[in-house]
Amino acid sequence: MKKVLCMMMLSISGLNVQAADLSKKFIEFGYVQSDFGDKSKVEPDGIKLGFGYEFENGLYTSFSVKRQGDTIESGPRQLDIDIDENYFELGYIAYETSDGRFSFGGGLGEMDWHLKHYTLEGDFYRFFTEYEHRFNEYFSGYARLGYEYFDPKGAKNNEGAWAELSVQAHMGESSIVLSYFDSQGVDQLGLTYRYAF
């Protein structure tokens, strides 16, 4: 999967590039990898699919799906772990200039951990502020800061601050997005192909 995405990035980079346009109307798919810290051997990776839509009044919404997996060595045995995440958010663009936009919003999601015969399910809630910026006609990016609350069934709640940074290279309606997400105990890298409509 990593090789396919790298080849896709190299092939698209040879296309004619066009001006960066800040828009939340898109469909996307790509690769994502998570890291649960130095004390954990769990580093699942997998795919991400997403859809976003921006309304004329400044409201926007998006939905994303992540499916990740990993194999853990536990003595002589191997344990497969699967992590499924679904996330929906709603935001509002409160201020806009020629090169940037400031927005705020919230989202809700669900995450399921499957390890052999054990399943951990939980809901999470996020609030955030975001600033998008157009660096030049070919590149844009955004920074998000927020707070999240994770409520797993039958386990301890987890809450705290989170942040996400992203850089986007535009090639007409197509773009490549490199993102980094950091929350309570989880780091996540993503490489995504996005098509704006």
Query: Residue 184's closest CA among 106, 118, 126?
Result: 126
Output the DSSP codes for 156-194: --EEEEEEEEEEEEEETTEEEEEEEEEETTEEEEEEEEE
pTM score of the predicted model: 0.84
pLDDT digit string, tens, across residues 20-58 = 678 999 999 999 999 987 666 788 999 999 999 999 999
Q: What is the pLDDT of residue 51?
A: 98
Of the options 3.20.20.70, 3.40.190.10, 2.60.120.1440, 2.40.128.130, the CATH number for the domain spanning 26-196: 2.40.128.130
Cα gap 38→181, rounded to integer Å: 17
The domain locations on the chain are: 26-196
Q: What is the pLDDT of residue 12?
A: 45
